[in-house]
Each structure stands twice: as structure tokens, then as C-alpha cells.
């Protein structure tokens, strides 16, 4: 308690000449109250919707390494400068394989000719220009494919139709992710000439979900695409009738070769501990089919809106707040890995990191990944988040996507878990558009972020020292 109130005179002294000081001191006697007040404001109008509308409308889809992704970076730089951030800069990094989508067509040629709805996986190679026509080998689970001996699929198109489970924490995606990222390489190892999977999605629309895939050095790269859920179920029924099923597939994506991408970085300098950094991330790139509203435009809007609210306070918090809008997350966290490498020498200054990359929210749980989950300022953060509907979680956070490489190098991380129950209905599809985002959901997420970020920067807790460590 003593610590809580001891910060007050200093804030007021600094605020003595600032317009609005009186209001702030009346409505926010403690940092906890200031955070709660910021969160209340965010619940009704965080500014996140305006940011998201601008990004998804004025820029649109933002494929990794594309001219549109570069325009998005310029858009972000301009916004952060307009918001009055103390420092705004861009860091360029190489992207080994730029990729652009082409034609994507598939049809059943026998025994019941009809079209199929597919989309190429990001990074897929093209089919020959005339396409590939072959018998399929259909597996109801990914493990069934993995159980096949080498060369057993020679000349066939491998198809995996395992459904994804809907879950609030998005665990259904994690459980099946390898079916997309490693499936083509596993099918190629067994002799397949192409690979189709049931989309990693929880909707039943005739809309396929794209997403990145990775080839292996010991297997030839084969064309790979996702079927919409109804098309995958159509194939399940047709194969169950017992006749061989043949499919023709035509994909014409291009490998653009080595190009560049970039991370955009912006800072609010801490008033007392400028070298201590609270780092928030989100990723600016998106897949090309939709406009990347929920993945990860929502995350960009949440961190930009939350930090703009803190920037607008008459006095900044004690610690520096750094926002990193990463480039090229979708092809494999390329921007996140590049950032962790370039900033290696300063990682010990990062006091905590967080990233929203699972849609619009709301935030329903606060997970930590720290040395001392019972540290008193974390308890105060939990107490401030609870009235927003955010439950305390456990200490198993490893940081989301782009900040994962930082967490792997022992930067303390938290996850303000976004409710992902309906996220995978839209994820990586043409339906990932602005109209799907609801103000009350993204505002609540921004409220949780602004409260957490303000308190982490203002209370200056140490999340690296185990509570049981001997006193220095």
C-alpha cells in the first residue's frame, strides 16, 4: 500500500502545470485507479475500430513482403508520429521467398465429375501448367497419413480430411497445425504428387482457409491446397462409396525469390526508467484472401489504440512502452525472429512482453509466463482486469507468435487470452474482413490491454526474479 501511494506526489508534482491535472488527481488517486479509468474509457470508445477501419480499407490485404505490406508499414509510421510517440522507426529484414497467389482450380474428374473449392497454401509450388490429374488417397486423420510407409502414395494426390475442434483458447488449431505446415512434405516423402487438406477452420461455409506450409529438404516440394469444409466432407462421402476417386488440380502461384519486409517500432519514453521496456507486439502482414481484419488487424488496432491512450495522458508512465508491428509473421514469424536477433543485446532490458494475435477478443483470461507469478504488482494487474471479465490464469504463457522468440530467450511474457471460439470460422479466409469485428469486443480487448500496459509500465514490478531467490 505504501508503495502505491508513494508514487502519487511525484505524479502530481510533474502534473502541476499540466492542463487536466486536477481532473486526473481527483479521478485517479492511485495507478490502479488510473488504469481502471483508462479501461472504462476504452470500453466505450477505445479508438480501435477507427484504426482497424483505416488499415483494412485504406491498405487492404497485406501479404508478407508485398508492396501492400510496405504501404501498411508507412501507414503505421505516419500514425505513430501523428499520435506523438517519442521515437518511430522501421527495421528492414530479408524474406528468403516472396510468394504470390495465382490461379487455383480443382475438380473431381471421376466417378462423379464436379468442381471443388480450394485455395493454395502459402508458399506452395505450382502444378504443371496443364495441372495434375490423379487418383486420391484419402485419410480421415493426419496420423493415418503418417502411418503410411514410404513410397506407398506414389503417383497419388494425398487428401487429409481431419476436422478441427472449436475451442475458446484456439487449441484445436494448435493440435492440427502440422497437418498444414508439414503435411505436404510428409505426403511427398511417401511419393504423393500433390496434397489437399480439409481447411483448418471451424465454419461450414464453402470457403477454404489458406495458411503457410513448409517443405523439407529430403522430399520434393509438391503443390498443396486447402479444401473448404463442405468440399472435404463431399470427398469423404464419395470415397466411402468404394470407387476410386480422381481429382484434377491446377495451381499457378509464383515464388518471387528473395525480397524484403519490415518491422515498425514506436516508443513512449518512460519518465523515470527509460531503459526498462514493456514491449507490445502485433503483426501487420496478413494473408491475401481477406483484408486481415481479425488476423491480425485487430491486434494492431488493440495495441495502437491502447498505447495512444497512454500517450495522451499528461504524464507518461515510469517505464518505456515499445510497440513493435511485425512484418511477415504468416510465412513463419520471420519478422519476430529477425527482431529477436537484431535486438539480442538489449533483451535484458525487456521487463515484460505481450501480443494480441488471436482475433478481436474479448480477453477472458490473464496468463503469465514469469519467474514469480505471485509478484505483488501482478496481483494488482489481475485485480484491475477482473472487473473487465478477465479471469486469472496460470503461469504457462510462452508469448504469442511474434514475441515468442523473445519469450524463448527468457523475456517474461504474458498472454491476455482472446476468446477464439469463432476466430477459426474466419481465419485466413476471404471472410476475414472489417464487418466481422464488433466494437464491444475489440473495445473490451483494448481496455484489458491499456490497463495491463499502464500498470506494467507504472508499477515497475520485476518479473525476472523468482520469489524464492536469496536476497542480493
- The answer to whether 227 touches 172, Cβ cutoff 8 Å, is no
CB of 195 within 8 A of CB of 223?
yes
- # residues near Zn ion by CB under 5 A: 3
CB of 82 to Zn ion, least distance (A): 25
- Output 287 or 454, the one with its CB closest to Zn ion: 287
Q: Which residues contact 1 (CB under 8 A, 6 or more apart)?
A: none
419 binds Zn ion (CB under 5 A): no
Q: Is 288 in the site for Zn ion (CB under 5 A)?
A: no
Measured from the CB atom, the residue of 32 and 296 that comes closer to Zn ion is 296
Burial pattern 109-129, b for ≥16 Cβ within 10 A else e, equals eeeeeeebbbbbbbbbbbbee
**Counting contacts by CB under 5 A, is residue 296 touching Zn ion?**
yes
The residue assigned the cell 508478407 is 64
SS3 472: coil
The verdict on whether omega for the bond into residue 78 sits within 30 degrees of 0, i.e. cis, is no
| Residue 357 found at the interface with Zn ion (CB under 5 A) | yes
295 binds Zn ion (CB under 5 A): yes
Report the phi/psi class of residue 191: left, alpha or beta, with left for phi > 0 and alpha for psi in -120 to 50: left
Give the nearest distance from C-beta 402 to Zn ion in angstroms. Answer: 8
Choose between 331 and 393: whose C-beta lies nearer to Zn ion: 331
The reply to whether 203 sits near Zn ion by the rule CB under 5 A is: no
Stretch that binds Zn ion, among 61-69, 78-86, 291-299, 366-374 (CB under 5 A): 291-299
Cα–Cα distance, 140 to 163 (Å, whole number): 9
Q: What's the grid cell of residue 282?
A: 502485433
In the complex, what is the shortest distance from the CB of residue 270 to Zn ion, in angstroms, rounded to a whole number?
Answer: 29
Q: How far is the CB of 112 from Zn ion (least distance, A)?
A: 37
Closest CA to 298 of 365, 361, 367: 361
How many CB atoms are located within 10 Å of the residue 440 CB? 12
| Residue where the block lists cell 488471436 | 358
Q: How far is the CB of 192 from Zn ion (least distance, A)?
A: 29
Q: Which stretch binds Zn ion (CB under 5 A): 6-14, 102-110, 175-183, 352-360?
A: 352-360
Q: Distance between alpha carbon 350 and the CA centroid of its chain, in Å?
A: 20
Report the residue number, 288 or 357, with the smaller CB distance to Zn ion.
357
Q: For residues 234 and 291, which CB has a smaller minimum distance to Zn ion in the complex?
A: 291
Q: Which stretch binds Zn ion (CB under 5 A): 81-89, 157-165, 263-271, 292-300?
A: 292-300
The answer to the question of residue 402 lying near Zn ion (CB under 5 A) is no
Shortest gap between Cβ of 285 and Zn ion (angstroms)?
8
Q: Supply the minimum distance, in Å, between the C-beta of residue 403 and Zn ion.
A: 12
Indicate the residue among 191 and 405 with the shorter CB distance to Zn ion. Answer: 405
Q: CB-wise, 328 or 372, nearer to Zn ion?
A: 328
What distance in Å separates the CA atoms of residue 314 and residue 23, rounded to the nearest whole number? 11
State the cell numbers at 59.
491498405
Q: Bridge-partner residues for 260, per DSSP?
A: 94
Query: Distance from CA of residue 243 to its chain's centroid?
Result: 42
Nearer to Zn ion, 186 or 285 (CB): 285
Cβ proximity of 46 and 306 under 8 Å? yes
Rounded to a whole number of angstroms, the minimum distance from the CB of residue 401 to Zn ion is 6
Q: How far is the CB of 431 from Zn ion (least distance, A)?
A: 15
Other beta carbons less than 10 A from residue 226's beta carbon: 30
Q: Which is nearer to Zn ion, 7 or 181 (CB)?
A: 181
**Stretch near Zn ion under the rule CB under 5 A, chosen from 59-67, 295-303, 343-351, 380-388:** 295-303
CB-based contact 244:56 (threshold 8 Å): no
Q: Which residues bind Zn ion (CB under 5 A)?
A: 295-296, 357
Amino acid at each position: 500500500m505504501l508503495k502505491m501511494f508513494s508514487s502519487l506526489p511525484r505524479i502530481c508534482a510533474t502534473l502541476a502545470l499540466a492542463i487536466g491535472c486536477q481532473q486526473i488527481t481527483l479521478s485517479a488517486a492511485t495507478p490502479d485507479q488510473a488504469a481502471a479509468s483508462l479501461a472504462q474509457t476504452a470500453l466505450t470508445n477505445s479508438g480501435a475500430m477507427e484504426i482497424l477501419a483505416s488499415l483494412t480499407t485504406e491498405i487492404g490485404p497485406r501479404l508478407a513482403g508485398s508492396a501492400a505490406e510496405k504501404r501498411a508499414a508507412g501507414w503505421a509510421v505516419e500514425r505513430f508520429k501523428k499520435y506523438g510517440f517519442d521515437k518511430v522507426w522501421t527495421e528492414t529484414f530479408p524474406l528468403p521467398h516472396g510468394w504470390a497467389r495465382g490461379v487455383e482450380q480443382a475438380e473431381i474428374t471421376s466417378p462423379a465429375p464436379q468442381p471443388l473449392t480450394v485455395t493454395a497454401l502459402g508458399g506452395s509450388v505450382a502444378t504443371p501448367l496443364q495441372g495434375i490429374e490423379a487418383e486420391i488417397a484419402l485419410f480421415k486423420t493426419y496420423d493415418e497419413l503418417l502411418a503410411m510407409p514410404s513410397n506407398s502414395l506414389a503417383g497419388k494426390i494425398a487428401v487429409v480430411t481431419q476436422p478441427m475442434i472449436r475451442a475458446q483458447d484456439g487449441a484445436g488449431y494448435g493440435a492440427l497445425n502440422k497437418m498444414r505446415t508439414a503435411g505436404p512434405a510428409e505426403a511427398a516423402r511417401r511419393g504423393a504428387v500433390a496434397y489437399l487438406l480439409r481447411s483448418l477452420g471451424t465454419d461450414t461455409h464453402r470457403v477454404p482457409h489458406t495458411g503457410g506450409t513448409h517443405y523439407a529438404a529430403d522430399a520434393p516440394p509438391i503443390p498443396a491446397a486447402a479444401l473448404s469444409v463442405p468440399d472435404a466432407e463431399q470427398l469423404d462421402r464419395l470415397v466411402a462409396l468404394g470407387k476410386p476417386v480422381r481429382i484434377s488440380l491446377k495451381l499457378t502461384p509464383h515464388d518471387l525469390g528473395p525480397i524484403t519486409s519490415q518491422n515498425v517500432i514506436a516508443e513512449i519514453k518512460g519518465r523515470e526508467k527509460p531503459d526498462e521496456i514493456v514491449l507490445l507486439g502485433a503483426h501487420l502482414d496478413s494473408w491475401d484472401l481477406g483484408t486481415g481484419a481479425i488476423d491480425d488487424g485487430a491486434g494492431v488496432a488493440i495495441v495502437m489504440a491502447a498505447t495512444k491512450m497512454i500517450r495522451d495522458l499528461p504524464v507518461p508512465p515510469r517505464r518505456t512502452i515499445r510497440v513493435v508491428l511485425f512484418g511477415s509473421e504468416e510465412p513463419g514469424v520471420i519478422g519476430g525472429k529477425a527482431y529477436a536477433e537484431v535486438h539480442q543485446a538489449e533483451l535484458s532490458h525487456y521487463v515484460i512482453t505481450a501480443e494480441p494475435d488471436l482475433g478481436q477478443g474479448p480477453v477472458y483470461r490473464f496468463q503469465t509466463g514469469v519467474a514469480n507469478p505471485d509478484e505483488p504488482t501482478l496481483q494488482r494487474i489481475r485485480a484491475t482486469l477482473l472487473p473487465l471479465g478477465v479471469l486469472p490464469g496460470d503461469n504457462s504463457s510462452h508469448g504469442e507468435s511474434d514475441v515468442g522468440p523473445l519469450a524463448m530467450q527468457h523475456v517474461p511474457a504474458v498472454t491476455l487470452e482472446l476468446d477464439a471460439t469463432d476466430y477459426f470460422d474466419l481465419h485466413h479466409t476471404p471472410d476475414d474482413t472489417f464487418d466481422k469485428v464488433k466494437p464491444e469486443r475489440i473495445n473490451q480487448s483494448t481496455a484489458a490491454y491499456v490497463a495491463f500496459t499502464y500498470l506494467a509500465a507504472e508499477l515497475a514490478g520485476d518479473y525476472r526474479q523468482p520469489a524464492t531467490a536469496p536476497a542480493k
